[in-house]
Amino acid sequence: MSGILEGKRVLITGVLMESSIAFHTAKLAQEQGAEIILTAFPRPTLTERIAKKLPKPTKVIELDVTNEEHLGRLADVVGEELGSLDGVVHSIGFAPQDALGGNFLNTPFESVATAMHVSAYSLKSLTMACLPLMQNGGSVVGLTFDAQFAWPQYDWMGPAKAALEATSRYMARDLGKQNIRCNLVSAGPIGSMAAKSIPGFNELASVWDSRSPLEWDLKDPEPAGRGVVALLSDWFPKTTGEIVHVDGGLHAIGA
């Protein structure tokens, strides 16, 4: 029996650690029949080492999503490797340290602008860079952390994720005519590289211990990876502009 991504070609960003959602997305995508290519920044060699743990060899290319030269050559580089694309995974987020950890009221705009550019605007810029390779339509899937709420320590990454969620909806609106779907997976907290950069992350994650209807495991990124792979597949042919929660159900619980 073939996998649900059989014959698909997918670009995946954000593979930094074996514990990341992006790594498990890449692993599951290969297991489900996809050819993949990975992008990395600022240390492609780190991603190349992690990529060796995937079921099949895959190429890693350097991509800074804030660099117009990198974006401008992306379609050519990926096209040489895969020919075309059916899917793009946006697993990119960054905020300077002074935009996190309880410093919300004192964060300078320069740091806010960086968080917005890397974490939200890049969904649009990455997708547009890949668009020439998606002539037959496809699926763009990003990762968010539920922006309905103000989370402890998360500070300006909260507004950045809210911007990401809005960006995804507008992209769904404008790319639908090209049969390109754009959706997000809102995952619960995972002990990834991104989590390690948030001061007081354990305080944020502890909310899941008391409020999540389903038991949540900080060390298990696979459920979120499965959500991403499902949205990349043809099993959601008419779903776009959606946010699928893979968070143990916490988003549905008030207190």
Residues making up the annotated binding site for substrate are 95
Q: Is 121 a residue of the active site?
A: no
CA atoms within 13 A on the CB side of 84: 9
At residue 184, the 3 state secondary structure works out as: strand
H runs (alpha helix) in the chain: 21-31, 44-51, 68-82, 109-116, 122-130, 157-175, 193-196, 201-205, 207-211, 222-232
DSSP per residue, 191-222: -SHHHHTSTTHHHHHTHHHHH-SS---TT--H
Binding-site positions read 14, 20-21, 64-65, 92, 95, 161, 190-194
Binding-site positions for NAD(+) read 14, 20-21, 64-65, 92, 161, 190-194
Which is catalytic among the residues 161, 170, 177, 238? 161
CB 246 within 8 A of CB 223: yes
Distance CA 16, CA 69 (A): 22
CA distances from 113 to 121, 155, 159, 222 (A): 10, 14, 11, 31
Distance CA 163, CA 170 (A): 11
Angle at 39 between CA 83 and CA 230, to 5 degrees: 75
Q: Is 52 a residue of the active site?
A: no
Distance CA 212, CA 163 (A): 25
Which is catalytic among the residues 154, 177, 196, 219? 154
Catalytic positions are: 154, 161
